[in-house]
A and B are shown apart, each in its own frame.
Chain A
């Protein structure tokens, strides 16, 4: 029997390879993110000073929508090929699958964010007055918060009617503390203040929710 990390690595490698070969998800999500950024740009055309106040919120809302599009297709492949049933029957630990899926989503959403950020900087004439390394930390912790909850709720919502709408319905309320932290941290850093409290809050949130999701994933996978 393969060790849990082996399963995680194998599943992650399979997902990344499939994605790299077809580029279905990344292409559609990239274009979607571009459209979101442009629509926001039309709607709010602030001065450089104003944009530092609102950009934090705008960026994270755009990332949130892109993340939801990414998360909705998390389990689509598995559903089409009855992989989840096979997984339930196998002795492999459910958590390995969960971590592999979460890591895959994290990589996907991070790539999206890395590509959208320069666009935002250009369109909103952004310049961070505070420590930029903190921005990176906020991005990493915030993306993980969205992705770990999102993958968990994606697994829940595949068992419901109206699959695509259930994911945001479940994800947004529970992610609100993390979203608040991400937005306020970004705004603070852009305006020259530090964001230490928010980073600690995000880290704690990530820790608590990753643990709980890991504890409950097997239950959710086997719910019948």
Chain B
């Protein structure tokens, strides 16, 4: 860990800088939207990273419920925290992009609504982790994560059906993408994923150390014959 982390850190910094350059300067300017479109290279990779992290959270939670390994619990916590950060970025950059392009900050279309519900579910997960007492937190949080992950397909289906009944112009469009733009998008995604991995790794280490400290404190107060008041 000691040597790999700084090396990876430097590499990620270089990659992020390159990706930023590509996004702001290197990528071709979009035909209809102009330079505003460049936020796309920030918005979409954040979304993909958030989805991957939430998937990791689901996997770690299921693993914890089966095997009860505390490493799985820490991974679940870490991926939820970093995932919420990236999801927040998606929800903030989306309206910033939408306002100049479509004239509105927000609409209840499929993608936006599902992302918002996803964000809500994982924020409530973080609330549960914060508010429950330490012995039971891993189990309760894992159960909530499983329920939350199961909820996601239902959200997609309900909004998909509602929008087929009450169609609206689709935000963000489907359609093909210029291969040069795709290239920039993928580089940004790689950079974001590396960055997310680094943040998760250091947060994991931090949580591990915190738990060791808590355990040491608990043992100390148990063994100290004079009690905890000195």
A198 to B: closest C-beta gap in Å: 8
Q: Does B148 contact A (CB under 8 A)?
A: yes
Q: Does B21 contact A (CB under 8 A)?
A: no
- A209 touches which of B123, B147, B159 (Cβ 8 Å): B147
- A174 touches which of B131, B148, B161 (Cβ 8 Å): B148
Note all chain A residues with C-beta closer than 8 A to B120: 172-173, 176
Residue of B nearest to A171 (CB): B124
Note all chain A residues with C-beta closer than 8 A to B56: none
Q: Does A40 contact B (CB under 8 A)?
A: no
Q: Does A161 contact B (CB under 8 A)?
A: yes
Q: Does B155 contact A (CB under 8 A)?
A: yes
Q: Is B136 within 8 A of A223, CB to CB?
A: yes
Note all chain B residues with C-beta closer than 8 A to A204: 154
**With known contacts A160-B131, A181-B158, A201-B154, A174–B147 Cβ distance under 8 A:** yes
- A160, A166, A212 — most chain B CB neighbours (10 Å): A160
Q: Is A159 within 8 A of B155, CB to CB?
A: no
In B143-175, the 8 Å CB interface with A consists of 143-144, 146-148, 150-151, 154-155, 157-159, 161-162
Q: Does B228 contact A (CB under 8 A)?
A: no
Q: Is A169 within 8 A of B124, CB to CB?
A: yes
Note all chain A residues with C-beta closer than 8 A to B117: 173, 176-177
Q: Does A197 contact B (CB under 8 A)?
A: yes
In B115-148, the 8 Å CB interface with A consists of 117, 120-121, 123-124, 127-128, 131-133, 135-136, 139-140, 143-144, 146-148
Q: Please, how many angstroms separate the alpha-carbon atoms of A21 and B170 in the complex?
A: 56
- A212 touches which of B136, B139, B150 (Cβ 8 Å): B150
Q: Does B65 contact A (CB under 8 A)?
A: yes
B129 to A: closest C-beta gap in Å: 10
Q: Does A205 contact B (CB under 8 A)?
A: yes
Apart from A160-B132, A184-B162, A224-B136: 20 A-B pairs, beta carbons within 8 A: A156-B140, A159-B133, A161-B132, A161-B133, A169-B128, A173-B120, A173-B121, A174-B148, A174-B151, A177-B117, A177-B155, A177-B158, A178-B154, A180-B155, A180-B162, A198-B158, A198-B161, A201-B161, A205-B154, A224-B135
Can you list 19 A-B pairs, Cβ within 8 angstroms, ordered by A? A149-B147, A160-B133, A161-B133, A169-B128, A173-B120, A173-B124, A176-B155, A177-B155, A177-B158, A180-B162, A198-B161, A201-B157, A201-B161, A205-B154, A212-B147, A216-B65, A223-B135, A223-B140, A224-B135
